Structure formats: structure tokens, C-alpha cells
Amino acid sequence: MAILVAGGAGYIGSHMVKDLVENGQEVVVADNLSTGHRDAINPKAKFYEGDIRDRKFLDKIFDNEDIEAVVHFAAFSIVPESMSKPLKYFDNNTGGMITLLEAMRDHNIKYIVFSSTAATYGVPEHMPIKETDPQNPINPYGLSKLMMEKMMRWADKAYGIKFVALRYFNVAGAAPDGTIGEDHGPETHLVPIILQVAQGKRDELSIFGDDYNTPDGTNVRDYVHVMDLADAHILAIKYLEAGNESNAFNLGSSTGFSNKQMLEAARKVTGEPIPAKIAPRRPGDPDSLVAASDKARKILGWNPKYDDVHDIIATAWKWHSTHPKGYEDRD
């Protein structure tokens, strides 16, 4: 039986597909290539190009393929963009989930592993954040994902579709063999932007604010390696296949790094000076976001291999330095 990876051409989805394929799993990818890259899809996976909001497209896949579980990454994920284009997020993310769950119900597909986010917690009351903490998102992106979590809860009660929601903190890094990595246009995330400065593709890093309530005044985030994240999804599929109840897990390293610390780490890894300046705050950024991820370790048996941000940055650097134009440079 196959796993359907919706959004398997994107940054995290493509690493998931690689991980599954390398574990001997049959994989089907659905992606509309709106932000993903055809060349990011592992050649051993079967690819269907289309949109998960298109019911006929989903029916074709579920009719043709023997799908056992869906791993759902097909969503927009840029917080600042969601502030200016909220309906785009509710349409693609929340709307896409309606069609996907309806199709799963009608084709009797019982398991879904879902990319949720720390952004569902909004401004946390304490740190580290636990799965049981209140979820009050402060941006449309976080709300679109929280609505998707809630929809899955009701779909479980009504139709018995079991889910695992994985709430990611800050995902970074690339496959250690350097074959796939992060390639967003435009890029908004801290690690790839720092590395673009190291490559000379940008003049300097703008650090968004140094007057936050954190030790050095810059935001603190919890970085998790993309392959560790992929491993957690494989464990989540196994958890569902074993007959367990629906559940939600944080995925982070439980250690916070400030934006200034990330810059220093990248200077060390790359050996480049990486000029930086302090810029105004970016709207929607909470002071700190650090996960309590002991639940995933205990219940899923998750054991992340990358616990040092230098190693995470080093894998990203391998990808960026060998593919300065991203997938355009890939042979």
C-alpha cells in the first residue's frame, strides 16, 4: 500500500518523500507546483500534478492508487503574507482540508498526518509550550491551521478518520547528502536568508527587532532539522496504523536560539562575515517560541538526531553552496 504525500514537491514534503522512499515505502505525491519544485520530488515516487481543492483530482488518485494514509503538507505557510492575504490562506489551507477529508471519507481512507504549527499557539503564556496550552493564533496562517486541526477532530468523531497533528516549530536544514533543500521564492525564513548573505546574494541580514523580552533582545525560536521532522511523520503513521487514538504533538528541540545566536552560528559554519543590521520589528512575531517536545519522544518514540544548530545550518549550507540558484541548479 502507498502513502499519499500532499505537497510532496515542497520543502518539507520533498524531504518526507525522500525519507519514506529510503525506508522502502511506496509513495504517491500530489502537488500543484504553486510553490514546490518538480525536481524536488524523489524519482521513486509517483507524481500527480493537481490541486487538493479539486475533488476530481483527488478521486482520480484514490481510485487509481492503493492509498493507506495521507501526509498533508499542501498549504501556504508564510506568516507575513497571511496578514496581507488572509483569504488566500483560508481558501487553500482550510478549504483544501475540507475537500481532502471529504474524499478520504468517501474512499474509506482512515489515517492522516498533518503539518500543523507553533503559530496555532499565538502568544504563549509560558515556555516551553505544551500541547495542552491554549491555542489562540495571532495571524491568519496560524488560524487556518488551527481550523484544520479542529476539522480533523470532528471528522474523526463522525467518520472515524484518525489523525496526528504535528505542530512544527522552526524547521531548517536539508538532506545531508545535499540533493534536496529549501528553495522558496521569495525567501522569508531566517536560516536561508542568512545563508544567502553568506553567499553574497544579499548584502546583509536585517534582524527584525532587538528590543524583545529575551536575553539578547532578539526573538528566540526552536529549530528542528527537516529530516528529524520527516522521521516524526513516519513514526506518526506507525502510531495510527497501530490503532492509537488521534493526537497532537509538538516537534521542536526544546532549546531556544535567538536570531543573533543563529547569525553567530552561521558565521562559524560558513566562515563568512555575514554583515547584519538591526531593523524594525516584523508584525506578528512573538518574543519566544520554544516547544516542550517530550510528548513526541515518549509516545511516538521520536529521537531527533540533530540537536546542535551548527549541524542543522551545516546541512542547509551544503545545499545552498552547491545549488546557489536552488532547483534551477540541480542536474
In the window 67-96, what residues touch ligand UDP (CB under 6 A)? Answer: 79
Which residues make beta-bridge pairs with 247?
Answer: 164
Cβ closest to ligand UDP, residue 82 vs residue 94: 82
Torsional sign, CA 229, 230, 231, 232: positive
Q: Which of 11, 111, 141, 223 is catalytic?
A: 141
For position 193 contacting ligand UDP by CB under 6 A, the verdict is yes
Q: Are the CB atoms for 302 and 231 separated by under 8 Å? A: yes
To the nearest whole angstrom, how small is the minimum distance from the Cβ of residue 170 to ligand UDP? 5
Q: Where are the strands (E) in the chain, listed by range? A: 2-6, 26-31, 46-49, 67-72, 111-117, 162-168, 170-172, 205-208, 220-221, 223-225, 247-251, 257-258, 276-279, 288-289
Among 42, 120, 144, 219, binds ligand UDP (CB under 6 A): 219
Whether 48 is catalytic is no
Stretch that binds ligand UDP, among 15-23, 34-42, 153-161, 204-212 (CB under 6 A): 204-212
Indicate the helix (H) or strand (E) that contains 184. Answer: none
For position 259 contacting ligand UDP by CB under 6 A, the verdict is yes
For position 208 contacting ligand UDP by CB under 6 A, the verdict is yes
Among 110, 150, 282, 297, binds ligand UDP (CB under 6 A): 282
To the nearest whole angstrom, how small is the minimum distance from the Cβ of residue 196 to ligand UDP? 9
Helix ranges restricted to H, 199-325: 226-241, 259-270, 294-295, 309-322
> What does the alpha-carbon distance between residue 265 and residue 261 come to, in Å, rounded to a whole number?
6
Cβ closest to ligand UDP, residue 15 vs residue 162: 15
For position 155 contacting ligand UDP by CB under 6 A, the verdict is no
For position 226 contacting ligand UDP by CB under 6 A, the verdict is no
Stretch that binds ligand UDP, among 59-67, 93-101, 186-194, 244-252 (CB under 6 A): 186-194
Q: What are phi and psi of 207, to 5 degrees?
A: -90, 120
For position 255 contacting ligand UDP by CB under 6 A, the verdict is no
For position 170 contacting ligand UDP by CB under 6 A, the verdict is yes
If one counts every other C-beta atom within 10 angstroms of the C-beta of residue 51, the result is: 18
Closest CA to 25 of 231, 228, 211: 231
- Grid coordinates standing for 301? 518514540
For position 46 contacting ligand UDP by CB under 6 A, the verdict is no
Q: Footprint of ligand UDP on this chain (CB under 6 A)?
A: 79, 170, 188-190, 193, 205-208, 219, 221, 259, 282, 285
